[in-house]
Copies of this chain bind each other. A is one copy, B any other.
Amino acid sequence: MGNFKGHALPGSLFLMMGLWWAGKFSYWYATRRKKSVGHLTSRVAQCRLEVIEGAAILFFSLIGILAEQFVADGPWLHLYNYTEHQWDRLMNWQHATMYLFFGLAGGVSLTVHATGSAPLALDRMLLGVAFFNEGFLFLYHLHGRAMLDVHVHQLLLYAIFGGALTTFLEVFHRGNVLLELLRASLCLLQGSWFWQIGFVLYPPNEMAEWDPKDHNNMMFITMCYCWHFAFSMLTVTVVYCTVCWVVRSRLKRTPLMEIGLLKATESEDEI
């Protein structure tokens, strides 16, 4: 998938995932603080949301695997090309492997929250493993490319391994809103950086080519990465503020008496 679309597609997926997480975790945090609106997110609703999220990740991962395997120039499940005595389309296989681990994470999250027969933190651990695995494959992916190409992918590794580390920390500090929002913004960063890589390495027709050996380009790209991170943090902030504002305005409209009743009936769900 060494082309523009091959970077725009995962970029869009990660952008969606980051936005979704920013919204979800902001909402939970906001409702946890204002306990009186507990009926908006009882524990049952939270659990159902997690199941849906797991199913969605599983679904998109399966789509991704199938797409990598059965596109026009895909390997169609052949691993070895016996006529040319070499491995067949390793890139597609590698991308399919990345999707496979995200699929595992989605499937496990689905199972954990639907059946409750496994420790809760397992969903975070497998998500961390999926991020780590993505970074691990990228790490050994870059041998023998041009300097600029290697550099933009190396920068991507910061976002990926940062996300993996954050998710592993959540295994021990579950429910820490800072870690959750940091994960969301690192995910957004990854998504927007995939788009940037696409524009740098495969510029659309009307744009000028980038000189892959110019040292100034390397320095600009590094700085550009910081701007992407600042922008992704800004996006998470905007989402957080919007969600807080919506939750607070809803709270005001809820009649006081009803809140009193809610407190009595749902107090066991909110902790």
Q: What's the minimum C-beta distance from A186 to chain B, rounded to whole angstroms?
A: 11
Q: Mark A26-63, 1 if CB is under 8 A from B, else 0.
A: 00010000000000000000000000000000000000
The residue from B137, B226, B230 contacting A226, defined by CB atoms under 8 A apart: B137
| CB pair B178 A87 closer than 8 Å | no
Give A227 to B96 CA distance when docked, in angstroms.
Answer: 11
Number of copies: 4
Cβ-closest chain B residue relative to A140: B222
Point out the residues of chain B lying under 8 angstroms from A125, CB to CB: 178, 182
| CB pair B171 A223 closer than 8 Å | no
Interface status of A215 (Cβ within 8 A of chain B): yes
| CB pair A178 B171 closer than 8 Å | yes
Residues of A near any B CB (own CB < 8 A): 29, 86-87, 90, 93-94, 97, 100-101, 104, 117-119, 121-122, 125, 129, 133, 136-137, 140-141, 143-144, 158, 171-173, 177-178, 182, 214-220, 222-223, 226-227, 229-230, 233, 240, 244
